[in-house]
Amino acid sequence: MSETRSLFSDAQLRRGRARWVYFVVLTLLTLLFAAAFLFPMYWMVIGSLKEPAELARPIPTWIPESFHPEVYVQAWNELNIGRFFLNTAFYAFGAWLVQLVVDVTAAYALSKLRPVLGNVVLGAMLSTLLLPTAALLVPAYLTISDVPLLHVNLLDTPWALWLPSAANAFNIYILKQFFDQIPDELLDAARMDGAGSLRILVSIVLPLSRPVLAVVSIFAVIAMWKDFLWPLLVLQEPRTQTLSVALSRLSATGRVPLTEVMAGLVIASVPMIAAFLVFQRSILKGLTAGGLKG
């Protein structure tokens, strides 16, 4: 292993007094990160497991006196958290599927079929990265409530989330970048064998693109799971709501036991934290590689 160095070299950090300073800083930093970033999550989990009376005490307990995991069953059934969880999972799955189908076919056409004016189309798509989402909120809402040409109302339907999520220039950009690196000779050889464009996409391009498809998939699911404002506007029917929107509504009523709200928060967080621990490499890489907001 070659010695990497930054402000200090490894040798400097190993010498006499510096070594002590280094270990003091390392310990303090470790504790600081634990207190700042991990402790709130711990508080959320034990808050959900305490008895309501214990949670309401002015002097909090650091470790619950009694554990009540049954609150999760109550929240799942009585607050309907189960339904909202499944809604959110369904929306995330659909967003993933719609984004893959729409954005992969577009990136493939722009990269390998190279139609007339392809660059103009790509430019028009990339320019939407400049649009703050906020600026489109009102007209996009009106569009969903009465889609031009088709004159259907998509409010309270999954399409209200799925179709706008497919208009994702960031996806098309990184997919196209990846497809550009696949040699044309491979595709030409398949064409000689009589494969059509769709066949080539499915049997040659997609199997080679697993890494980029993974990144797009992970970000599609995360974005849908985290979204709040757009689902708040287009899903007004309580039955159709996402976990975030439903929790916001339920907590505002003030009639729901705090332990059950806490359980709802934990249920909403677990899939994201699990996904992060499993895919942390791709997620952190995708973040720095893009340099754009994912």
Partner 1 sequence: MSDTPHVTGASPRARRPARRRRRAADNGLAYGFLTPAISCFALFSWYPLVRGVILSFQQVNFVSDPEWVGFANFSAIFHDPLFWTAWWNTVKFTGIALAFGYVVPFFLAVVVNEMRHLKGYFRVAVYLPVMLPPLVVVLLWQYFYDPGNGLFNTVLRGLHLPESQWTQSPRMAMVSLVLVSTWANMGTATIMYLAALQNIPGELYEAAELEGANVWQRLWYVTIPHMRFILAVLLMLQIVATMQVFIEPFQLTGTTNPDTITVMVLIYRYAFTVNHDFGMAAAMSVLLFVVLGAFSMAYIRLISREGTRA
Contacts to partner 1 from residues 233-262, by CB under 8 A? 233, 243-245, 247-248, 251, 258, 261-262
Residue 109 CA to residue 36 CA, distance in Å, equals 47
Nearer to partner 1, 38 or 186 (CB): 38
Q: Which amino acid is at 231?
A: P
Nearer to partner 1, 59 or 66 (CB): 59
Site for partner 1 in 140-159 (CB under 8 A): 140-143, 147-148
233 closest CA partner among 115, 129, 148, 139: 139
Q: Is residue 103 near partner 1 by the rule CB under 8 A? A: yes
Minimum Å distance from CB 101 to partner 1?
7
Site for partner 1 in 51-90 (CB under 8 A): 56-60
Nearer to partner 1, 10 or 70 (CB): 10
Q: Which of 89, 109, 204, 213 binds partner 1 (CB under 8 A)?
A: 109
The beta strands (E) that lie in the chain are given as none
Nearer to partner 1, 56 or 186 (CB): 56
Phi-psi category of residue 114: left, alpha or beta, with phi > 0 → left and psi -120 to 50 → alpha: left
Q: Which amino acid is at 92?
A: A
165 closest CA partner among 99, 248, 264: 99
Q: Which of 30, 119, 181, 203 binds partner 1 (CB under 8 A)?
A: 30
User: What sign results for the dihedral spanned by CA atoms 32, 35, 36, 37?
Assistant: positive
